[in-house]
Structure 1
Amino acid sequence: MEKAILGLDIGGTGIKGGVLINGHLEDIRSIATPARESKQFILETIAEFIETYTAYDLVGIGVGIPGLVDVREGIVLGLSNIPAFQHVELKKFLTERFSKPVFINNDANCFASGVHKFGVGRKFNHLVGLTLGTGIGGGIVINGHLYSGVNSAAGEWCSATYLDHDFEHYCSGKFFDKYYHSKPKALAKLALTGDPVAIKAFEEYGHHLGELIKHILYALAPEAIILGGSIRKTYPLFKKSLLKSLSTFNYPTVIERLQILPSEMDETAIHGAVALVELEDVVVNS
């Protein structure tokens, strides 16, 4: 059997997995997350899913979680979409069950790690990954290493106050739901036909996202911002207004060196999860 690393992306609606073999991600599978069940039921579901990959010679397991994680101990501190999954010793459970090294981190951190290791972020030493979907998440790579912060909370700009709410309210799919009563994908189709309301929606979205990126630039001044999540596919529709917002940034020489790139990979969270195993130092909190 070929040696493989298993990566898991655990979300509120689904659990996805894939194995990295010789640098290539293969055998992508998914199951529904039993989000309303007990903690033990969810743990057993994850274990049973992993068992479907035991035909491979697994050398380690990486896990991305949409919530805060005690990275060093591998404890899931809480998931907003899975009520019973609070303070779960997931690393201990999986290590005892499978006798493999297990590494766990926030899914947005996994995204940043994945694009840096395998995607368009490979050429940058300093980058920020932003996942734009139902919510918004952020991951930080500094000097080529993932920086997670305490309890993997670094990069949580989603909760920072902005206008009358927070950045997630204006920079995720919630913006389109709240103000245009539609999904980004549906609005994108209308915008491409010249619909003025849909075009305006993406212009406003780009402005808000630009304001978020300016906050990131003041703190970190990275070489690149890599966009992930489903909304990244609509980047051409909001690129102009985003760049217009960035044009007011106080340090134009920083903007001149900044690259904003949509990720070309759809399974970046799984790539990032396997990167946790490949690069063990990325799970250090400092």
Structure 2
Amino acid sequence: MKKYVFGIDVGGTTVKCGLFTVKGELLEKWEIPTRTENNGAAILPDVAETVLKKISEKNLDKEEVAGIGIGVPGPVNDQGEVAGAVNLHWGYVNLADDMEKMTGLAIKAGNDANVAALGEMWKGGGAGSDSVVMVTLGTGVGGGIINNGKIVTGVHGAGGEIGHIHVTDDVERNCNCGNRGCLEQVASATGITYLANRRLQKDDMPSVLRNGQVSAKTVFDAVKAGDALAMEVAEEFGKYLGTALANVACVADPEVFVIGGGVSKAGQVVIDYIKKYYTANAFMTCKQVRFALAELGNDAGIYGAAKMVL
């Protein structure tokens, strides 16, 4: 009888680990450093070692462990193969196969944003729905599409890469992906900072943003304080993201959009700006989609990784 499952979220600096019951109760969580030197050769052996150590420390029978789910920052196909993960210095890695050999346990692997979306669907902002699109607004814009409880990966593992939808011709620089005008350039934390700085340079309109550091946080703090220039920036952000999600809805038709990442910490005000432009541009049968803030924070990845196995 399977009683336990491990969820692993591999990040560029730390690997988050969780031991769960098969019902989704988090029994323990811990972190180990991500050792990216030598092309990340130590990462999987370190994960295998920490899991096997935890099994022995808790006196678990391996037969009771359903397996290990692992989320990584890169495209992962249905066979658990990673084409490459820049932040880990990985080229091609046959993750599922390699980890199975190291641990003797069943392995499921997925892209970290997709896996976080699965976590939010299971135990977070999307709980109660099995068709969810998760939008992560951090340094970049990540996305994960869950349809009928299953991650949509696509043939190259790029399903849910909504940050690279083309939304504007009005930016002066290229995105990290090499294209120009990606959603990530105008709707991420760095994108909001870019929009704010651009607006500040346009004229001399007074704003509290002229008095200190400009960031996504200071922009939304200024919005809450009624700063007119900051509100213009938030409108522009909302237009780009809300319209992009209206396009996503035409393809994925989710029941709920879950908004997470650092920018979402500003709260309901972020959703209000997105929803305004989403509703204006969405196809008629998709207009009633629910919007929710993510609830699991940094734990979404370990929850989703565990859920992949189950």
Does TM-score exceed 0.5, indicating one fold? yes
Equivalent residue number for residue 282 of structure 1? none
1:217 alignment partner, one of 226, 230, 249: 249
Measure how far apart 1:32 and its partner are.
2.9
Measure how far apart 1:235 and its partner are.
3.7
Equivalent residue number for residue 207 of structure 2? none
Please say if residues 159 and 167 of structure 1, whose CA atoms lie closer than 8 Å, have aligned partners that are also in contact. Answer: yes
Q: 1:42 to 1:244 in 2, by over 3 A?
A: same
> What is the aligned length?
274
Select the structure of larger CA radius of gyration.
2
TM-score by length of 2: 0.80
Equivalent residue number for residue 66 of structure 1? 73
Equivalent residue number for residue 104 of structure 1? 109
Rounded to whole Å, the distance in 2 between the matches of 1:69 and 1:159 is 17
Give 5+ residue unaligned stretches, structure 2: 170-180, 198-213
Report the aligned-residue RMSD: 2.3
Q: How does 1:112-131 map to 2 (within 5 A)?
A: 112-131=117-136
2:88 counterpart SS class? coil
Greater shift in the superposed pair: 192-201 or 124-133: 192-201
Equivalent residue number for residue 23 of structure 1? 24
1:114 counterpart SS class? helix
Overall identity of the aligned pairs, in % = 28
| Cα displacement string for residues 41-75 of structure 1 (whole angstroms, at most 9, x for unaligned residues) | 33333333334422343431000111111231x22
2:305 counterpart SS class? helix
- Whether 2:270 is the aligned partner of 1:238: answer yes
Q: How does 1:87-98 map to 2 (within 5 A)?
A: 87-98=92-103
- Whether 2:222 is the aligned partner of 1:205: answer no
Please say if residues 145 and 252 of structure 2, whose CA atoms lie closer than 8 Å, have aligned partners that are also in contact. Answer: no
The amino acid of 1:39's aligned partner reads: G
Greater shift in the superposed pair: 245-254 or 190-199: 190-199
Q: 1:44 to 1:262 in 2, by over 3 A?
A: same
The amino acid of 2:14's aligned partner reads: G
Q: Which has the higher strand share?
A: 1
Give 5+ residue unaligned stretches, structure 1: 279-286
Equivalent residue number for residue 292 of structure 2? 261
TM-score by length of 1: 0.86
Measure how far apart 1:121 and its partner are.
2.0
| Cα displacement string for residues 237-283 of structure 1 (whole angstroms, at most 9, x for unaligned residues) | 3333222212322533421x2111112222111110000111xxxxx
Q: 1:191 to 1:35 in 2, by over 3 A?
A: farther
Greater shift in the superposed pair: 87-96 or 29-38: 29-38
Q: 1:69 to 1:183 in 2, by over 3 A?
A: same
Q: How does 1:1-286 map to 2 (within 5 A)?
A: 3-21=3-21, 22-54=23-55, 55-56=57-58, 57=60, 58-72=65-79, 74-83=80-89, 85-164=90-169, 165-180=181-196, 182-249=214-281, 251-255=283-287, 257-266=288-297, 267-278=299-310
